[in-house]
Amino acid sequence: MKYKKILSLVLAAACAASVAACAKEDNGGNGNGPAAQENVADLVIEDSIFKDGVHEYNVSESNYDLVLNGRSDYTIVYPSERDSLIDTAAVELQLFFLNATGITLPMRTDEGLTYSADAKYIVLGDSALAGQAGIEVPAERLNENGLYIETKDSNVFLCGATDRGVINAVYEFLHQQFNWECYGTEEIVYDRNVVNEKLLNMTIVDAPDLTTLSSTYGITDNNVVVANRMRYSHNASYWNSGPGMFHNSFSYLPRSEYRAQYPNAYSDDGTQLCYTAHDDAKTLEWMTDTIAKKIGQYFIQTDERHITVSVEDLSTACTCKTCTDMKNKYGTDSAAIIKFVNILCEKVDEWMLTDEGKPYAGDYEIAFFAYHATYKAPVNYDAATDTYTAIDDSVILNEHAGVIFCPINATYQLPLNDPYNQEFYEYARGWTAVTQDDNLSMWIYGTNFHYYLVPTNNYNSMQFNNQFMADLNVQWMEDQGQYNNANSTGFSALKVYLNSKLAWNCNLDMGQLIDDFFENYFGPAAPYARNYYDELRAHFAYLETERNWIGNTYLEPLSQDLWPKNLLECWIGYCDEALEALAPLQESDPIMYTVYSNNVTLESISPRYLLIDLWRSKYPAAERLAMMQQFRTDCEKLSITQYSENADIYSLWQNWGL
């Protein structure tokens, strides 16, 4: 895996210069930081390590009129037998076609229809019409979320290997025909007042580089419509067929219910399961039988076939003699879990041969966490060939067993190939030696879980990390953000957008994506919001390179030395200027005024929080109280519900005496 990297983040005199653009009176701090940069670039990857993406576009104008003089003869057609996702795709297509043209396209099933060259159908999914037209979907190239679009005569077919691919094809069709793009909850742009539009001749084969896209921010987790529009195909519900979804081993085998009768099923300290059952064969049999039976019941209850049996959210592992001997042999606690999950897969396979299980037989995956004590795979490394191999065949995962590698102790201020993250980079590579097919997933982290209101810099790592995961054939990627916060500051909306784009195509121009986002998410306020963002990125570069302020997702940020008062006031000033730039919209477009002004106010939350929390003693009592009260009002208006992962926003008001 060869790569080159250059850090092109322009620092100028960032290491020592004061913030010239924001210079004010003495701020009580050191005032050091970078001047506003004209072009804050990203970590540029030369010669991307991932080159196998499927993104093939052949698009030209046809002779057929999709819209002519404000009218359209087209009909949306979908299979008579379909699931709800196809209905959603049809409704979305009809809605945005109407918004772009003023035309409501009729919708109908394919029942009784026969293909003809001049029918003027927009056909969704696995319709009989596709077969009649000779449409061959290259399913083997698409994975479960990829899309296929083909124009045939006057008709266009929006397809995928699965129904999820069909809804993605609808959004791609809208993008091609009307320049449709989704940047957030309300920030959807497309051509308006379209009176004349030619149908495009399209043959598009496009599949995400990371098979399944996931996001854990409140703005997508709590809104399936937005998640669909940004091609977040499953979110965390990809694994939602098991108890508790994650950190769920005690959901299968509750300590309070079973520990007294089966003490060997639990680690010596009681914080985890013992995956060797202390060398007690009867207990191991009971453990695997019980969990396998519960998995079978979940398969009966749901169509989902991805399930987790994962460790509790601690860094512990069993230290009994059997587990310790196995750890000494394989160099990691993960070997015991691999063997345990392999047994589970064998027992689920056996269940699928029974009368009860036969109706539910098929492909599935049971995954565990490689987390803390189980980071490392049981592998050997050959420096001469730069390759990893399993220590022995017993620790190669069953074809139905998967691993979710969760390097929570890495820093995402830097890409995973940075020397700071070297051990986690190698751990990830090592897991490819013991997983089969595409049964490797990764869970990375994009926020500070102790301080939701403080911006977190993971922009420099996003592109490389996506390329790296695609190169490892990672099937599902979770970039955990503020999943339990209804709305998030610190340019979290930009992260949601970038992740949706870079997970789909990890070699897109990230700088162009950022430009597009600011223009469309902030409207006329974009230049001022961009000034704040660029200076924030430059300040992060200063802190990381000159102050060595680097750490994991629990890095302590509350220090006056890190956030000078005049710098925070400057960023708040940019937000004030942004709101002033939006003022004309109050009369001309009050709806978008509300959208853009809320977006600006949302991004003002971070510097305002830091200013109040760190520097409020510098303000007169009346002004300080007014600042805090307005801050609380804005948080409530914007639905900011959490101060940290484990503390709601009301704990902050208590800390401030509000």
DSSP states of 605-644? HHHHHHHHHHHGGGS-HHHHHHHHHHHHHHHHHTT--EEE
Tell me the pairing of strands 121-124 and 155-160.
parallel
Global model pTM greater than 0.85: yes
Concatenated DSSP letters for 502-552? HHH-TTS-HHHHHHHHHHHHHGGGHHHHHHHHHHHHHHHHHHHHHS----S
**How far apart, in whole angstroms, are the C-alpha atoms of residue 1 and residue 37?**
33
**How far apart, in whole angstroms, are the C-alpha atoms of residue 344 and residue 397?**
11
**How far apart, in whole angstroms, are the C-alpha atoms of residue 70 and residue 103?**
8
Confidence of residue 370 (pLDDT cuts 50, 70, 90): very high
| pLDDT higher than threshold 60 for residue 536 | yes
Nearest-Å Rg of the Cα atoms of the chain is: 27
Residues 544-598: tens digit of each pLDDT? 999 999 999 999 999 999 999 999 999 999 999 999 999 999 999 999 999 999 9
Confidence of residue 237 (pLDDT cuts 50, 70, 90): low
**Mean per-residue pLDDT, 612-629:** 97
Tell me the pairing of strands 147-152 and 197-206.
antiparallel
Nearest in space to 74 (alpha carbons), one of 136, 132, 158: 158
Average pLDDT of the chain, as a whole number = 91
Per-domain boundaries in the chain? 4-48+517-618, 55-208, 237-478
Amino acid identity for residue 292 in this structure: A
Whether the CB-CB separation of 218 and 483 falls below 8 Å is answered with yes
| pLDDT higher than threshold 80 for residue 100 | yes
Residue 233: predicted pLDDT: 73
Residues contacting residue 548 through CB under 8 Å, at least 6 positions apart: none
| pLDDT higher than threshold 80 for residue 152 | yes
| pLDDT higher than threshold 70 for residue 304 | yes
| CATH architecture designation of domain 55-208 | 2-Layer Sandwich (3.30)
Whether the CB-CB separation of 241 and 296 falls below 8 Å is answered with no
**How far apart, in whole angstroms, are the C-alpha atoms of residue 142 and residue 205?**
7
Residue 25: predicted pLDDT: 40
Per-residue tokens: 32: 């050091």
Residues 208-220: tens digit of each pLDDT? 999 888 878 888 8
Per-residue tokens: 202: 């399209």
Residues 432-459: tens digit of each pLDDT? 999 998 899 999 999 999 999 999 999 9
461 SS3 class: helix
| pLDDT higher than threshold 70 for residue 10 | no
Residues 592-603: tens digit of each pLDDT? 999 999 999 999
Phi, psi (degrees; rounded to nearest 5) at 445? -140, 135
